[in-house]
Amino acid sequence: MVTTAIMAALAATMIIAGCQAREDEADQLVTLRVAVSNFPNSLDASIAAERNAQNVAWQMFDSLVWANDDNIIEPALAESWEVSEDGTEYIFHLREGVTFHNGEPFNAQAVVYSWERGKRPVMEWSDRWARAEVVEALDEYTLRITTEEPDPLFLSVMAQHWNIVPPLYTEEAGDDAFGEAPVGTGPFQFVEWVREDRIILERNPDYWRMGLPKADRVIYRPIPEASTRMAAIQTGQVDIVSRLTHEQAEALESVSGVTVVTYPIDRVFYIAFNNLTSGVGEPTEDARVRRAMNYAVDRQAIIDSLFGGRARLATGLMTESNLGYNHSIEPYPYDPDKARQLLAEAGYPEGFSIGFAAPSGAYTNFEQVAEAVQGYLADVGIRADLDIMESGRFWDLEGEKQLPPLFGDSWSERSGESLPRLKGALDGWDASFSAWSDPEIDRYLDLISVTIDQNERAQLYKDLHSYMYQDPPFIYLYVPETFEATRDNVVDYRPRAAEDYFLMFTTLR
């Protein structure tokens, strides 16, 4: 049953949509049309796991702080803050006069409510909220947050995931309904979601950042096929497309009216192993087998054939831009003979069979990557039964630790350090965990988590990088570049290395 609060919010958005549908007014609106490779299962920023979903949701929410294009933490819903000498207590002074899209006031109690809600285990990013041990309102616009230990990445994590929600509407709506019609304080507000067709956001006329957003409306359209997205940008049906192949990007460079955007991203692609659920008792519990599988895959050939050479070989779950990247580590070479030798030493001279899964439509050419990995493993006797499944189902099973013993995925990181990626992939933090357990890795991650000195933290990262190379919990694949395109009249579209963006700056000329 739709409750009074939801009815009121939906009625308000219908009024907005109805007014702006008038032909004389619509001609004057600046509308950004964005093609995405797949649609989310939720627009709740605390639930959305996949990057497309997050990028839609983040346009509607704010946190207390935010990270600018140079990854520098700046004020947002908090105008200022102080940190105690021991690094475990934060006093935030909140911005006054801010309202949520439905008219509820933003205040300290809304932050307390958002924290209590966000840290529930059922939420996708509960670990990010749970980094705070206590969150208390000192008065209407002053907040005290206490952490159990010093946390060098606390503000970075807050900038990414502490999206503040209105208590009354959120509580009355419930998680599912909120995810279908979210309300935040962000630059754009929700209007409509027609499944498999469109998501429409409108400018928040009361946004606290003066002069923003610059556009009046954003329309997201799901176009799963990269070739269809390419055609849409060529013909002017959309203004922004992402996740193009390198061939398509190169072809678009000569198309009049289109600008191609190419940039390196902070994302590592990998094949994960599972030793907690479906992987218990599997050959992959033996480190020699995992090393053999790294030797078995010709990753450079994959990069050359599927990405035009526009990617780097991964040596671990860190990228070169991350603090503590160990440059002395060389990528695993392609050596099928070495792979067969290690398999024989581990007791599998004839290889073995194993389940393998990968998501469809989530990443550029990743279905072909998974098929290539399957082929290379077969060459050394490993018979991987590959299931390329719909991405929403894939991430649901991943979150439940119910994927096969072998599965492909990737991780993008916004903080500039690899700790959230490492903990997320290895420590069960959120959706993309590998269900892998290693006490030595856990020890390193615990130390990094509380080490404030940056030089000491960098050395711990280097040591962990080396350990994870010798005892790999993944087949390390590649760190790619990404290819996007815009129409020439798009101004100030600012995608980042973490594949996120904030459309409040973007407009059309």
Q: Does an H or E element contain 397, and which?
A: helix 391-399
Q: Which domains does the chain have, with CATH numbers?
A: 4-214 (3.40.190.10), 267-480 (3.10.105.10)
DSSP 2: -
Nearest to 302 by CA among 242, 246, 359: 246
509 residues of the chain, pLDDT tens digit each = 334 444 444 444 443 344 444 434 455 899 999 999 887 889 999 988 777 889 999 999 999 999 888 778 899 999 999 999 999 999 999 999 999 999 999 999 999 999 999 999 989 889 889 999 999 999 999 999 999 999 998 998 899 899 999 999 999 999 999 999 999 999 999 999 999 899 999 999 999 999 999 999 999 999 988 889 999 999 999 999 988 888 899 999 999 999 999 887 889 999 999 887 888 899 999 999 999 999 999 999 999 999 989 899 999 999 987 889 999 999 999 999 999 999 999 999 999 999 999 999 888 899 999 999 999 999 999 999 999 999 889 988 887 888 999 999 998 777 778 888 888 778 654 434 566 888 899 899 989 988 988 889 999 999 999 999 999 999 999 999 888 999 999 999 999 887 889 999 999 99
Position 24 scores a pLDDT of: 47
Residue 283 preceded by cis peptide, ω within 30: no
DSSP assignments along 33-79, one per residue: EEEESS--S---TTT--SHHHHHHHGGG---SEEE-TT--EEESSEE
DSSP assignments along 435-452, one per residue: ----HHHHHHHHHHHH--
- The two tokens of residue 497 are 């290395």
Query: What's this model's pTM, rounded to 2 decimal places?
Result: 0.74
Position 427 scores a pLDDT of: 63
